[in-house]
Amino acid sequence: MREVAVIATGLTAFGAFPETTIRELGAAAGRECLAAAGVEADRVDGFYLGCFAGPSFTGQNHLAPWVASAIGVHGAPATRFEAACASSGAAFAHAWAAVAGGLQEMALVVGAEQMTVQPTARTAEILAAAGDVADEAALGATFPALFALIARRHMHEWGTTREHLAAVAVKNHANGLLNPKAHLRKAVTLEKALTGRMICDPLTLYDCSLISDGAAALLLAPVDTARGLTDKPVRVLGVAQASDRLALADKADATSFPAVRAAAQKAFAMAGVGPDEIDVAELHDCFTIAELVALEDLGLFPRGQAGPATLEGRTALAGDRPINPSGGLKSKGHPVGATGAAQVVEIVRQLRGESGERQIAGARLGLTQNLGGSGASCVVGVFGA
């Protein structure tokens, strides 16, 4: 296996862009990424599109060659990867495998989703299809309901409080305020988060991530090639994907995701590092409770301690364990298929020291955790400057 590096990144603004197309969003991120590396499109020998529900949102399927050709990538294998909200995490993991295995020299990953083109009720239905439709979604268990159940159980088992949840929102909104690409840039106080409109008890509006449009891109190459194209290659030290049952009801423990634990264990082992060595991480905060569960599943905090640690400010930019400097899905936004790739974009830029006002000083080791559904898919990556 060859050592692989991310040599360039691209990222559109996240927001509501119903007037553009998913093709143009994906192509904009892809073109920015190639231009940043100074690489012509015809050098790309593998194209990996992460997209969850492009056909349902936009009516266009067969999206991989559709986006690739708009970037000028013609001929190379072009495939769409779907693993719910971990779709571009999965695309990244497979692109890494092709380069690491010696099959490809220059793999372009694009994650894209355009969600605001559908009415809210239809969007909720499309998103609910990432869970068990027949036995959960059809009975009303959409994702806010599923994560509300997870939150309630976490409160019961581990003493987590609504303040702990709200503290995640407050912190991620504070970070997003420093991110020019973020969808919802506004400060949120703890009081405001606690008194937000109730969506599904105990989750208020401020506990839920956003419905967004956007795209992100990554260019992967062997480290040896990378050195000729950039003086700041970021090495992929570990990457792993894992799966689990779709239905929340089928999980033995609603407050922990086995797929996250399995993917983290493999990625850490591959990287030869442990959670305590991670300087900065982008975690999948589709709901505030999801960030707390991820912090515990990844071993960044002991179980039951992620909430108090967040309230104490330990996961803030200035804390000892900064999480979601980008603003996360909560403030940056959550164009589902773009999220996994966008997490890697943020970590790569942090490790390169390019993150401006939200830069974590001296960050050398970063982590991404991209979750699909109510935990049935997960991709974890570990990156080194």
The minimum distance between CB 324 and its own copies, in angstroms, equals 24
Nearer to its own copies, 280 or 293 (CB): 293
Count of beta carbons in the 10 Å neighbourhood of residue 118: 18
Catalytic residue among 85, 208, 286, 378: 85
The minimum distance between CB 350 and its own copies, in angstroms, equals 26
* CA–CA gap between residue 252 and residue 61 (Å, rounded): 36
Task: List residues binding its own copies (CB under 8 A).
Answer: 1, 47, 52-53, 55-56, 59-66, 68-69, 73-84, 90, 93-94, 97-98, 100-103, 126, 129-134, 240-246, 250, 258-259, 262, 372-373, 376-377
The minimum distance between CB 227 and its own copies, in angstroms, equals 22
Residue with tokens 């707390």: 292
Catalytic residue among 154, 286, 334, 378: 334
CA distances from 283 to 116, 290, 299, 343, 368 (A): 23, 8, 13, 8, 6
Nearer to its own copies, 288 or 377 (CB): 377
Annotation marks residue 51 as catalytic = no
The minimum distance between CB 340 and its own copies, in angstroms, equals 12
Nearer to its own copies, 129 or 149 (CB): 129
* CA–CA gap between residue 343 and residue 381 (Å, rounded): 10
Count of beta carbons in the 10 Å neighbourhood of residue 320: 10
The minimum distance between CB 167 and its own copies, in angstroms, equals 30
DSSP secondary structure string for all residues of 285-307: -SBHHHHHHHHHHTTSS-TT-HH
In DSSP terms, 6 is beta-bridged to 220, 234
CA distances from 185 to 170, 198, 299, 301, 327 (A): 12, 21, 30, 28, 9
Nearer to its own copies, 52 or 287 (CB): 52
Nearer to its own copies, 143 or 383 (CB): 143
Annotation marks residue 334 as catalytic = yes
Q: Are 65 and 102 in contact, with CB atoms under 8 Å apart?
A: no
Q: Active-site residue numbers?
A: 85, 334
